[in-house]
């Protein structure tokens, strides 16, 4: 059993003014899980992965590196409102919901639109901003949160549990996260009549930004290599909402055989961002964290920051069940010999290459080691149900429909999503 060390709370914090959190006076508690020369630090603010320290397998004398982008402290994460969603569990529904609206059981619900015209990661006060209750367990930490009926516009009162455990494996350690949710009866203060539970969508995701070269690597993620157990993805419109189609992952989108992120982002620039080869190569060569590479519009006008922000469909064996953990991704860093393998029960994975980090958001004064986190500094591998898939219509692609958002129903099954991150050496 790996060693478990409970750290003293870093600081006493109160929830931000106007927060709907029921634990407004709770302390943010931090924990460290250690297993050999691998350690993981967790925070009850957003049930976050604050740090992961890994050895350099190519150069033992260089010590360990923190491979997670993030804030220098929980207070900074709290006060800055964590606009990039660093390290936290996001929900009640991860990813986007088109126009912040969905229909369930004949009733339309309206949510915050905090990402242009759409709702993203639970809204302006989603689960990533909450201080969860926490307790140390054997080999891990259990975080709990109650989300009231009407929270951020969602129906239904739910209890959410997120349990992290760290255990040794041959040559390294595996961090496992189990996220579960169940419906609760309405409390007496509910604005709705009656005491019965109400149905609600649920889709939780872990939103850590990884860089196996170290969170402050000047090479960004360009020397990380990614392989996906995915042969198809769900294309999106101009506001990053899936079209309901499923297409083969080819060219820049194809990670089935694995490739460096440098190669992938050059390909993406040429094939999907309207750049020529020289411009695409220049964008990955420039190391200024405040320089943001953008798509090329008509007449030479610049458009949106580009890179990967797509939901891939995990290839599952025909005889697998929804409770089977399937290999999703393998991220490697040849210069340090580090490897991270991701397995999950979820049908999809959002690959996001931190396209919108710009060196100033968040401000370096709030970030670890005062680092300016720029575009492509980290990569998120967010296992999930498919984006904007609450109540998808029957006419969409059948494969897309199979990945639709889970609905908690009175008398129905509880929600469960397990994802593991196995760390070791090449």
Lateral strand order in the sheet of 30-35 = 3-6, 30-35, 38-43, 48-55, 64-66
- pLDDT value of position 8: 26
Residue-level pLDDT at 189? 54
Rg (CA), the chain: 21
pLDDT at site 297: 60
Q: Range of 42's domain?
A: 3-425
Q: How far is CA 236 from CA 44, 228, 241, 383, in A?
A: 33, 19, 5, 17
CATH code at 296? 2.70.98.10
Residue 203 has what DSSP assignment? B
Q: Which residues of the chain have pLDDT under 50?
A: 1-24, 190, 192-193, 298-301
pLDDT for 290 equals 94
Condensed to tens digits (0 to 9), the pLDDT of residues 193-215 reads 457 889 999 999 999 999 999 99
pLDDT value at position 404? 95
Angle between helices 261-271 and 277-285 (to 10 degrees): 140
Do the beta carbons of residue 104 and residue 153 sit within 8 Å?
no
* Per-residue pLDDT at 97: 98
Q: pTM of the full predicted structure? A: 0.92
What pLDDT, on the 0 to 100 scale, is given for residue 320? 86
Provide CB contacts within 8 A for 98, sequence distance 6+. Answer: 117, 118, 239, 241, 388
Q: What are the strands, taking DSSP E only, across 58-139?
A: 64-66, 89-90, 96-97, 101-104, 107-110, 119-120, 133-137
Q: Looking at the 3D structure of the chain, how many domains does it have?
A: 1
Q: Give pLDDT, residue 302.
A: 65
Q: What is the spatial distance between Cα 314 and Cα 349, in angstroms, rounded to a whole number?
A: 7
329 DSSP β-pair partners: 228, 342
């Amino acid at each position: 059993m790996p060693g478990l060390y409970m750290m003293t709370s870093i600081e006493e914090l109160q929830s931000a003014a106007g927060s709907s959190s029921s634990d407004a006076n709770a302390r943010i508690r931090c924990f460290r899980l250690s297993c050999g020369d691998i350690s993981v630090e967790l925070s009850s603010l957003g049930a976050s992965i604050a740090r992961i320290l890994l050895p350099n397998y190519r150069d033992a004398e260089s010590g360990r590196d923190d491979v997670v982008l993030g804030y220098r402290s929980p207070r900074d994460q709290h006060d800055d409102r964590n606009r990039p969603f660093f390290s936290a569990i996001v929900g009640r529904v991860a990813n986007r919901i088109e126009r912040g609206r969905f229909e369930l059981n004949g009733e339309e619900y309206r949510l915050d639109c905090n990402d242009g015209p759409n709702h993203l990661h639970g809204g302006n006060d989603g689960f990533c901003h909450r201080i969860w209750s926490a307790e140390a367990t054997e080999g891990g930490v259990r975080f709990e949160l109650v989300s009231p009926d009407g929270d951020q516009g969602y129906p239904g009162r739910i209890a959410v549990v997120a349990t992290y455990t760290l255990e040794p494996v041959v040559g390294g350690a595996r961090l496992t996260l189990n996220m579960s949710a169940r419906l609760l009866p309405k409390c007496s203060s509910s604005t709705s009549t009656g005491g019965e539970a109400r149905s609600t969508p649920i889709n939780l995701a872990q939103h850590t930004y990884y860089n196996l070269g170290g969170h402050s690597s000047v090479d960004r993620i360009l020397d990380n290599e990614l392989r996906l157990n995915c042969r198809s993805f769900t294309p999106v419109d101009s506001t990053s909402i899936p079209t309901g189609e499923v297409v083969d992952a080819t060219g820049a989108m194809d990670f089935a055989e694995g490739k460096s992120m440098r190669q992938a982002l050059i390909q993406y620039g040429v094939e999907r961002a309207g750049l020529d080869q020289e411009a695409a190569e220049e964008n990955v060569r420039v190391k200024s964290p405040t320089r943001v590479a953008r798509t090329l519009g008509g007449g030479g006008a610049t458009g949106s920051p580009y890179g990967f922000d797509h939901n891939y469909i995990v290839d599952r064996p025909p005889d697998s069940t929804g409770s089977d953990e399937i290999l999703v991704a393998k991220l490697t860093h040849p210069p340090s010999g580090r490897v991270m393998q991701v397995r999950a029960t979820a049908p999809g994975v959002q690959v996001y290459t931190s396209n919108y980090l710009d060196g100033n958001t968040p401000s370096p004064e709030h970030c670890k080691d005062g680092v300016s986190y720029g575009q492509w500094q980290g990569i998120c591998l967010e296992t999930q149900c498919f984006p904007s898939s609450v109540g998808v219509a029957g006419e969409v692609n059948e494969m897309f429909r199979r990945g639709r958002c889970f609905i908690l129903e009175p008398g129905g099954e509880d929600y469960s999503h397990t994802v593991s991150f196995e760390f070791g050496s090449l």
